Amino acid sequence: MRKSGVPNGYIFSKGYTHYIFILLFLLYFFDYVDRMVVAALFPFLKAEWGLTDAQCGMLVSAVYWAILIFSFPVSIVIDRWSRKKAIGIMAVLWSLATVACAFTKNFGQLFAARTAIGLGEAGYAPGGTAMISALYPEKKRSLLIGIWNSSIPIGMACGLVAGGYIATHWGWRHAFGIVALPGLIISILFFFVKDYKTVGLEQTVTKGSAAGIAEVKKKKMSKMDIVREFIRTPSLLLTYLGFAGMMFVATSLSTFFPTYFVRVQGVPLQKATLLTSGIMIVCIIGSPLGGWIADWWMKWKIQSRLYVAAIAAILTALLYFSAFHFFQGGPVQYVIFMLAAICSIAYASSAIAVTQDVVHPGLRAISYALCVVTQHLLGSSIGPIMTGALSDQYGIATALKIASLMGISSCIFFYLGSWFYKRDLEKVEKIKITAEE
């Protein structure tokens, strides 16, 4: 029997569900503000400490390496303990680590502080994804995850603009301190929201009896059962690999777009960050649009979530490569950058939904944590370093052109994953999610 005021498919009232969603959205927004503000500070750090482009790239990659290392163990805590407490603690940690960046005196100290930011952010995406997957009906999953992920480009854009403005007027150290405060406030609010009950790790087992009658019962999943849940789900593994290629593209370009505009087009830093933020802001269209298309298309084609991801990936590669190869500036190139940016995140909402669709409901945070580990190990953590090294060797335009082509590999992986999606979806354990008392 459902509680009064709680509609079908929800575990809380719609109003309270939306309140939790808004807090999750704001935390993700400030997660990326804190994560990307350093990219706007590269010219100041290069001038003060004499850093190379590769070292600047390392300051971005440091966050992703920490996320890569800690996402999986933190996700176990999230799935088996408490979503709201884990998320609140992590948000406090990454906010304080951002403040600490303001007090660093050399590259090594700043690298360590940036690593601490990644430690704090390690479980947020898995925890937030698991919460949204439980809060809303499955048929709306791609759209809501898409709206949630639209906070990423907004946060990245605001981080670049705020960082460039604050650093220009008051110094780069103030940039770290100021952007950290809002996230710290929201993280405290999150400790007081309601959570859903931790899902027991049980699976249905069918055995034949002596009388020849099939016996259906539940049993607790062993560690090997959990391992098999993942390695026997090819659509999931291929989705992880598709993510890696897209994250290589996204982190490489978002990190070095300001550098590209300054060096190739000769614009001042503040204008370069504004141009970059404009490209990122249009991504807010791509994430919910991709989710909406996938959910709508899924009414007729069950594999639509991975089809949308594959189409978005190939368009991203082709559009970015064309813009860098055929243009060196001008409004046409900038429009192509914007179209590519929309495609570059349109894949995410439906692909993230797949990581939740095809696994046991009690393993959803772990599932997305494994996706995070894969995408950062093979994408985000190496993208800025490799692109920075290529820039040092061949120039920034050539480096970004090469980075954009990684989207082709993602298209292949997403499309191959669609071959297995329907079968993997049919074998998922059906468990009802309920609210904590």
How does pLDDT run across 148-180, given as a tens digit for each residue?
Answer: 888 887 888 788 888 888 888 888 888 888 888
Query: What total number of domains does the chain contain?
Result: 1
CA–CA dist 421, 346 (Å, integer): 19
**What average pLDDT does range 177-185 have in this prediction?**
87
Q: What is the pLDDT of residue 206?
A: 62
Residue 421 pLDDT class (50, 70, 90 cuts): very high
Residue 217 pLDDT class (50, 70, 90 cuts): low
Is residue 4, in this structure, part of any structural domain at all?
no
Angle at 430 between CA 424 and CA 433, to 5 degrees: 125
> How far is residue 279 CA from its own chain's centroid?
18
Query: Which tokens hold the place of 343?
Result: 């495609």
Instruction: Please answer whether residues 302 and 403 qualify as being in contact, where contact means their C-beta atoms are separated by less than 8 angstroms.
Output: no
Residue 245 pLDDT class (50, 70, 90 cuts): very high
200 three-class SS: coil
Q: Quote the strand ranges of 59-182, DSSP E.
A: none
The Cα-based distances of 129 to 103, 135, 334, 365 in angstroms read 33, 10, 32, 7
Q: What is the pLDDT of residue 388?
A: 86
Query: Which of 193-202, 211-220, 295-304 shows the lowest mean pLDDT across its residues?
Result: 211-220
Q: What is the mean pLDDT of the chain?
A: 85
Higher-confidence residue: 407 or 60?
407
Residue 239 pLDDT class (50, 70, 90 cuts): very high
Residue 3: what are its φ and ψ, rounded to 5°? -70, 150
Indicate if the alpha-carbon torsion angle 148, 154, 160, 165 is positive or negative: negative
Is residue 434, in this structure, part of any structural domain at all?
no
**What average pLDDT does range 297-308 have in this prediction?**
90
What percentage of the chain has pLDDT greater than the value 90? Answer: 25
**What average pLDDT does range 31-35 have in this prediction?**
88
- In sequence order, the 6+-apart residues with CB closer than 8 A to the CB of 412 are 310
Instruction: Please answer whether residues 306 and 414 qualify as being in contact, where contact means their C-beta atoms are separated by less than 8 angstroms.
Output: yes
Is residue 5, in this structure, part of any structural domain at all?
no
Residue 73 pLDDT class (50, 70, 90 cuts): confident
Question: Residue 72 is part of a domain; what is its CATH number?
Answer: 1.20.1250.20
Buried b (16+ CB within 10 A) or exposed e, 310-348: bbbbbbbbbbbbebbeeeeeeeebbebbbbbbbbbbbbb
Is residue 350, in this structure, part of any structural domain at all?
yes
**68: Cα within 13 Å, side-chain hemisphere:** 17
Q: What is the pLDDT of residue 71?
A: 82
CA–CA dist 215, 204 (Å, integer): 10
**What average pLDDT does range 353-358 have in this prediction?**
89
Is residue 46, in this structure, part of any structural domain at all?
yes
CA–CA dist 316, 305 (Å, integer): 17
Is residue 161, in this structure, part of any structural domain at all?
yes
pLDDT at position 127 over 90: no
**What average pLDDT does range 239-265 have in this prediction?**
90
Query: Scanning the structure block, which residue is given the tokens 């993997």?
Result: 424
Is residue 224, in this structure, part of any structural domain at all?
no
Helices (H), 327-360: 331-357
Query: Which of 77-81, 208-212, 327-331 shows the lowest mean pLDDT across its residues?
Result: 208-212
Is residue 136, in this structure, part of any structural domain at all?
yes
Question: At how many degrees (to 10) do helices 151-170 and 331-357 cross?
Answer: 130
pLDDT at position 384 over 90: no
| Maximum mean pLDDT: which of 40-49, 257-266, 321-330, 331-340 | 331-340
The Cα-based distances of 408 to 116, 310, 437 in angstroms read 33, 9, 47
Query: Scanning the structure block, which residue is given the tokens 């354990």?
Result: 429
Nearest to 61 by CA among 111, 126, 124, 122: 111
CA–CA dist 107, 118 (Å, integer): 17
Query: Scanning the structure block, which residue is given the tokens 């990659």?
Result: 61
Instruction: Please answer whether residues 80 and 172 qualify as being in contact, where contact means their C-beta atoms are separated by less than 8 angstroms.
Output: no
Q: What is the pLDDT of residue 2?
A: 47
- In sequence order, the 6+-apart residues with CB closer than 8 A to the CB of 128 are 24, 27, 28, 87, 148
What percentage of the chain has pLDDT greater than the value 70? Answer: 94
First vs last C-alpha separation in the chain: 15
Q: What is the pLDDT of residue 319?
A: 96
Angle at 291 between CA 287 and CA 293, to 5 degrees: 120
The Cα-based distances of 95 to 47, 87, 119, 311 in angstroms read 26, 12, 11, 36
Domain span at residue 172? 14-199+233-426
CA–CA dist 175, 168 (Å, integer): 9
Q: What is the pLDDT of residue 322?
A: 93
Query: Which of 26-35, 91-100, 122-131, 414-423 shows the lowest mean pLDDT across its residues?
Result: 122-131
pTM exceeds cut of 0.85:
no
pLDDT, tens only, 96-115:
999 999 899 899 999 999 99
